[in-house]
A and B are shown apart, each in its own frame.
Chain A
Amino acid sequence: MNTSSSERGTDLVKRGLAEMLKGGVIMDVVNVEQARIAEAAGAVAVMALERVPADIRAHGGVARMADPSIVEQIVDAVSIPVMAKSRIGHFVEAQVLESLGVDYIDESEVLTPVDDNHIDKWNFTVPFVCGAKDLGEALRRIGEGAAMIRTKGEPGTGNVVEAVKHMRMMNKQIRRLTVLDENELMAAAKELRAPYMLVKEVAETGDLPVVNFAAGGIATPSDAALMMQLGCDGVFVGSGIFKSGDPAVRARAIVEATTFYKDASKIAKVSRNLGEAMVGINVDTLAPEDRMQDRGL
């Protein structure tokens, strides 16, 4: 077979990579050393960043795409897929990341948005993952070309409450669509502010058309297993690993809890003696402008 007669960047190829990440943990890393720790711990991918969300929160100011040299060093250092974040709507940051060879772009509310319009993701060969708090947001992002969805949660807090809320909301809205009469779907699409064809597809299949991971506030093996039991396909851990006392041990424990998410005795076993978890923030105490989940709806 001559591989030059083939097609790249198709829906199947973009969504397919997310299928391969299922049941796995994607870890935020800011340098080569952390990327190697994540790979050795069994991460299915790493997210290359300049600062983890907890530090972005503490630092304030405008948060942008990472320095290309950090991304390149991490791409060269590990054999697993490398993701990187662009600002919402910043399609040039996305073009730059694609040129660096990243395997997935996270158009992320963790960085400071630049536009009310999200990136037209159909224009890219590289696939995108986007955050969502509910089904309408998820389907709008898929309508713009996202090949993978994750809950937004509240990043950098070490508090899983918002991720739970977003996952439950999505599940509830999907279940509701499956019991609607066909001629109620247009009104449902209007209510969800989502593309009708995608609403119809979800009503028929009872599932999102792309993989859905949990993200935002996951800090412990039990947090990861909780999200898996709530029905997500895998987990992102941002600040939770490298802001904890013993990252390598915690990273391995979260990987194992994600695989054996239904086995409480195994989760108990890996949760022992993990050292200090990251310091958490109560989401209620955040000022409205500090709530990252309300960016890019």
Chain B
Amino acid sequence: MKIGALALQGDFREHLAMIRSLGVEGIEVRTEEELDRIDGLIIPGGESTAIGRLAAIYGLIEPLRDKINDGLPVLGTCAGMIFLASATLRHEQPQLEVLDVVVERNAFGRQIDSFEAAMAVAGFDDPVHAVFIRAPWIHKVGADVDVLASVEDLESGELRPVFVRQGRILATSFHPELTADTRIHEMLMEVS
């Protein structure tokens, strides 16, 4: 098995270190040829506008979309979640539109509102230590999307999904790659 991390910008090295710690080969993906060689993909944290724009000018949007729609397993964290989503509230930017959710960017506020906290996840015995950095949340989920974890929007009192699964697509608002917890990466291995 070979897992690729989209290496246009962001913390792809941390994801690859985590993949390799699980004894799986991890490679950087910047081209369509590299995309053809992998069994699973990670779209890292970073700036979603920068990642989207680089993917667009280097002709990666269509190949990525086709591969994921054909069943390539994928995990997107933070910017990766935004890039996978079908739309973004109040922003127009290049997106893959493969995950049936509308995301809200910087949903918790600016950097001073970034935080870490223990969070329960459906199907996990112990909570994950979730690190949210200028993080998005999901504003609206489609019918085929399972919500695995949510946070409470303190303004509206509504629950906002921060970890979802749609078939072989996994997406988190937070950064498991910044912790030592490999459970979410192992979920990607299981479907790859």
Interface status of B141 (Cβ within 8 A of chain A) = no
Contact status A103-B110, CB under 8 Å: yes
Known: A6-B117, A13-B115, A24-B9. A260 touches B49 (CB 8 A): no
Hey, which chain A residues are within 8 Å of B120, CB to CB? Answer: 1
Known: A20-B10, A23-B7, A255-B54. A98 touches B150 (CB 8 A): no
Hey, which chain A residues are within 8 Å of B45, CB to CB? Answer: 19-20
Contact status B111-A23, CB under 8 Å: no
**Number of residues of chain B lying within 8 A (CB) of chain A:** 44
Known: A1-B151, A44-B47. A22 touches B112 (CB 8 A): no
Known: A17-B111, A101-B110. A256 touches B57 (CB 8 A): yes
Known: A3-B152, A3-B154. A19 touches B11 (CB 8 A): yes
Hey, which chain B residues are within 8 Å of A6, CB to CB? Answer: 115-117, 132
Partner of B114 from the list A2, A13, A43 (CB cut-off 8 Å) is: A13
Interface status of A139 (Cβ within 8 A of chain B) = no
Interface status of B81 (Cβ within 8 A of chain A) = no
- Docked CA distance A10–B111 (Å): 11
Hey, which chain A residues are within 8 Å of B178, CB to CB? Answer: 12, 16, 19
Interface status of A32 (Cβ within 8 A of chain B) = no
Hey, which chain A residues are within 8 Å of B114, CB to CB? Answer: 8, 13, 16-17
Partner of B117 from the list A1, A20, A40, A255 (CB cut-off 8 Å) is: A1
- Docked CA distance A58–B115 (Å): 41
Interface flags for B91-105 (1: CB within 8 Å of A; 0: not) read 100000000000001
Interface status of A56 (Cβ within 8 A of chain B) = no
- Docked CA distance A228–B108 (Å): 32
Interface status of B30 (Cβ within 8 A of chain A) = yes
- Docked CA distance A259–B79 (Å): 16
Known: A43-B50, A255-B50. A12 touches B110 (CB 8 A): no
Interface status of B8 (Cβ within 8 A of chain A) = yes
Partner of B49 from the list A4, A42, A98 (CB cut-off 8 Å) is: A42
What size tier do the contact residues of chain A reach? 35 or more
Contact status A44-B117, CB under 8 Å: no
Most buried by A among B9, B53, B178: B9
Known: A42-B49, A80-B47. A125 touches B112 (CB 8 A): yes
Contact status A20-B79, CB under 8 Å: yes
Hey, which chain B residues are within 8 Å of A98, CB to CB? Answer: 112
Contact status B116-A10, CB under 8 Å: yes
Which residues in window 70-122 of A have CB below 8 A to B?
75, 79-81, 98, 101-104
Contact status B112-A101, CB under 8 Å: yes
Contact status A81-B115, CB under 8 Å: no
Interface status of A127 (Cβ within 8 A of chain B) = yes
Contact status B134-A17, CB under 8 Å: yes
Hey, which chain B residues are within 8 Å of A3, CB to CB? Answer: 108, 115, 117, 151-152, 154
Closest A residue, CB atoms, query B7: A23
Known: A17-B134, A22-B11, A126-B111. A42 touches B54 (CB 8 A): yes
- Docked CA distance A43–B111 (Å): 17
Known: A13-B116, A42-B54. 6 other contacts (CB 8 A): A1-B151, A20-B45, A20-B46, A22-B13, A24-B50, A255-B54
Instruction: Give chain B's interface residues, CB within 8 Å of chain A.
Output: 7-14, 30, 45-47, 49-50, 53-54, 57, 78-79, 91, 105-106, 108, 110-117, 119-120, 131-134, 149-152, 154, 175, 178
Q: What are 7 of the A-B contact pairs (CB < 8 Å)? A: A2-B151, A10-B115, A19-B45, A20-B78, A21-B47, A24-B10, A259-B30
